[in-house]
Amino acid sequence: MSIIGIVYSEEIRVVPLLIALASLVGLWLLGRNRQWRATPYVLIVIVLWLATVYSGIHASLAGMAAGLLIPAYATQRHKVVAARQLFRDFWQSPSAASARAVDCGLSQGVSVNERLHEFLRLPTALLIVPVFALANAGVDLRGGLLAEAFGSPVTWGVIAGLVLGKLLGIGLITLAAVRLGLGRLPAGIGMGSVFGGAALSGIGFTVSLLIIGLAFGTTSDLGRRATVGVLVSMMLATLLGRLIFKVAARRWGEETADLPMLLEPPVDPEVDHIRGPEDAQLTLVEYVDFECAYCAHATGSWEDLRAHFGDDLRYVVRQLPHHPHGPIAARASEAASNQGMFWPWLDFVFTRQHALEREDLIGYAVELGLDVDRFIADLDSHAVIERVERDLASAVASGAHVTPTFFVEGRRLRGSYDARTLTAALEASRRGTRTQELPS
C-alpha cells in the first residue's frame, strides 16, 4: 500500500495534504486520550480520505495510515466486569437510559478497531470487494486477446510475480526466519502448510488489479494483457497450493493446520481433579491459570452448570499456567491437593488473584488450616512440579494454548464459554450419547 500511495500518486496539492496530516494527528490524539466512541474516528477518517484524494496522493495510503492509528487492544476484564454491573442495573430497572448505559459499557470493553472491523467485515466482503473485482477484471477475450497475452512479457511477468514470487518470497523468508531462530511457527503449522499458504496467496487479485489500473489503465493493451495474467495466476496458484497441501499431507503428515481437538490424555480419576461424581454421564474439562481473570469468572459457571445437570456432570480442572505468577500458583494448588484441599483452595484463591506471591500463598495455606510445613515442602517438590508439567504436556497435546480452554466430552470447545454456551454444548453431547444408545 505504501508503494501504491507514493509511486502512483499524482501531482501533490499542499493544502489538502496538510489537512490529511492534521487528520492523522487527530486520530493519534483520539487514541492517546483513550477515546472509545467510534464516531469521532469515523468522521476524521472521512475527512482524511477526502483530503488525501484531493491532495493527489492515492487514497489507499490514507486507509493504511488510519488502520494503524485506530486503537486495537485486548479486551479489558475490568471493563467487562463494569458492563456486567450496568446490565444488572438494567435488569433491575429497565429503561432507555439504563439500556444506553449498557450499550456504552459493552463498547468500552472492546477496542474501536475491532468494533469497526466487525461492522465493516460483511459489507466489505459481500459488496465492496466483489464490485471492485467486477469493475476492474472484466476483459473481452475475443479478437485474439489470449494469443496476444500469452505472447506478451507483461502477462508472464504478472504470472511469475503472483505464482512464483509469492510462493518463494513468503515461503523462503518464513523458512529462513524459523531456521535462524527469529520466530517460530504457530502450533499445528508445518512448513508444508506455510508453502501451501504462500502459493494460495497468489490468488489475491484486488491489489493486483488496482496496480494494473494505475500503471497501464484497464482498457489499454498492456492493461488487458496484465489482467489476463492476474486471472491465469488465480487458477495456477489454486492448483499449485492444492498440490503442495496434498504432498505435505502425504509426506509429512500435515493433514490439518488446526490445533488438536481431542483431549489427551483422557480424564483419569486416579490423577485428575474432579468435582462431582466420578462416573457422571457428562464431563467438562477446563484448563486454568490462577492469575487469569477470565478463568476466575468462567470457573464460576460451575454453580450454574451444577444446578442444571446435577449429578449428571463432572467438572475437571487441569493446569495451564502462562501468567507471571501462574506457575507458583499452580504448584501451590497441587500442594493443597496433597492434603485433600484442591477445590477449597481453588475457590479461595480465585477470589485473591491480585496477590499470588509466595508469601501470599503460604498465608492462604494458614487461613485454610493446611499443614503449613508440609505445604511449603510440597510447593517446590519434584512430584508437584512433575504434576504441573503433566498438565502442561496435556494442554499442548490437546490444542489448549490459552486459558480458559474447555473440553466438552473430550472435544475442545471453540468460541464463547459462558454458562449458557457450555450448557448448550453439554446438552447437545448428551442428546448425541442417548441417540447412540438407542437400539437399532
For the residues of 285-296, what is the DSSP string, one character each? EEEE-TT-HHHH
- Determine the Cα–Cα distance for residues 409 and 176; give it in Å rounded to an integer: 41
Q: Which of 62, 23, 28 is nearest to 44 (CA)?
A: 23
**Residue 100 in 3-state DSSP?**
helix
Report, as ranges of residue numbers, the positions in the chain whose pLDDT lies below 70. Answer: 1-10, 76-77, 132-142, 187-188, 218, 256-257, 297-300, 433-440
C-alpha cell at 342: 484442591
Give the integer Cα–Cα distance in Å for 146 and 155: 10
Pair 245, 278: CB distance under 8 Å? no
Task: Please enumerate in sequence order all residues whose Cβ is within 8 A of that of 219, keeping only pairs 6 or more positions apart, or say none.
Answer: none
CA distances from 289 to 38, 329, 388 (A): 33, 8, 11
Q: Residue 335's closest CA among 358, 316, 355? A: 358
| All three cell numbers of 31 | 487514541
**How far separated are the first and last CA of the chain, in Å rounded?**
61
Please give the full DSSP string across 244-277, using - where no structure is assigned: HHHHHHHHH----SSPP-B-SSPP-TTTSEEES-
Instruction: Report the pLDDT value the prediction gives residue 311, as an integer from 0 to 100.
Output: 93
Q: Among 167, 151, 137, which Cα is nearest to 228's?
A: 137
Residue 314 has what pLDDT? 95
**6 contact partners, CB below 8 Å, separation of at least 6:** 57, 61
* Distance in angstroms (rounded) separating the CA atoms of residues 132 and 121: 15
Which residues are paired to 262 by β-bridges? Answer: 411
User: Using an 8 Å Cβ cutoff, are 174 and 247 in contact?
Assistant: no
- Separation CA 283–CA 429 (nearest Å): 10
DSSP 365-422: HHHTT--HHHHHHHHT-HHHHHHHHHHHHHHHHHT--SSSEEEETTEEPPS--SHHHH
**pLDDT (tens digit per residue) in 156-186:** 999 999 999 999 999 999 999 999 988 888 7
In this prediction, residue 170 carries a pLDDT of 94
H or E stretch covering 314:
strand 313-319
Q: Within the chain, which residue ranges are assigned CATH 3.40.30.10?
A: 273-437
- In terms of CATH architecture, what is 273-437? 3-Layer(aba) Sandwich (3.40)
The confidence score (pLDDT) of residue 435 equals: 41
Strand pairing partners for 287?
318, 405
Block residue for cell numbers 492462604: 364
Q: What is the dihedral of CA 140, 145, 149, 150, to 10 degrees?
A: 120
Strand ranges of the sheet holding 405-408, from the earlier edge strand across to the other edge: 273-275, 313-319, 282-288, 405-408, 411-412
* Residue 439 pLDDT: 41
- How many beta carbons lie within 10 A of that of residue 143, not counting itself? 8
pTM, 2 dp: 0.62
> Please, how many CA atoms are within 13 Å of residue 256, restricted to the half-sphere of its CB?
5
Q: Are 178 and 184 in contact (CB under 8 A)?
A: yes
